[in-house]
Structure 1
């Protein structure tokens, strides 16, 4: 097993990827704030990760095609990001549902989340470097 293949490291990488994708989706929402009939999108990642951590069975479980395969739970799989579009609401007369204040608040929250993921990853890499170099 490689140093960077641990489950926690893979989850941090998944979180960073999700935060990057979320920032792109939020920027797209803001860019289309005045576009008629535009519906906002959002990225789901953390909810899947929470389901995984709580031990709930979900779509994250492994598919076993042969009885000789090892059975394993979903706790080693890092979920992929899912982009969803809210088609049910409307904020303006032009059927657009983007609230610029909400999008900006979500963007700030996402930036904090991204920074914390990067900080945690740097901490793990620093600990690994200390172990390898022996300082």
Structure 2
């Protein structure tokens, strides 16, 4: 029995992978804020977690019409670049306020995933030690 190859660990791993990729792209955007003609990158990965949940055949129970269903359309972690916008005089489209806000949100998301992973590992450790 492979206790580390269950659906929870896989979902948490996918989330951590996506968050780390997003962290790299945000850092690249901030580092290139003064680079002429640089276009900001955006990472998309939360759909992957939704797809994994859908593959587990989980049914969502909606108590309000505004709740979202499980599911997604794209596969994997991917990055997009918006070539159609310009914010700075040097034809760069990096908005530092937006990037800093995204950096903070991503850090909170990443920390939440790490806390959940630690909780799962602590549960396994407790079971191995016989409940002590």
Above 0.5 in TM-score?
A: yes
TM-score band (shorter)?
0.7 to 0.9
Which has the higher relative contact order, 1 or 2, with Cα contacts under 8 A spaced 6 or more apart?
1
TM-score by length of 2: 0.79
How much does 1:55 deviate?
Answer: 5.4
Contact kept, 8 Å, 2:15 with 2:49, in 1: the verdict is no
2:114 aligns with: 118
Kept in 1: contact 2:47–2:73 (CA 8 A) = no
Structure 2: which 5+ residue stretches go unaligned?
A: 54-68
Instruction: Give the aligned length.
Output: 116
Runs of 4+ in 1 over 3 A off after TM superposition: 51-60
Shift of 1:59: 5.2
Matches of 1:56 and 1:110, distance apart in 2: 21
Matches within 5 A, 1:62-101: 80-101=76-97
CA-atom RMSD, angstroms?
A: 1.8
Structure 1 stretches lacking a partner, 5+ long: 61-79
- Structure 1 CA distance for aligned equivalents of residues 74 and 31 of structure 2: 33
The equivalent residue for 2:128 is: 132
Secondary structure in 1 matching 2:79: strand
CA change 1:37–1:110 in 2 (3 A) is same
Paired residue for 2:59? none
- Quick one: distance in 1 between partners of 2:73 and 2:21? 23
Counterpart of 1:47?
A: 47
Report the Cα offset of residue 50 of structure 1: 2.6
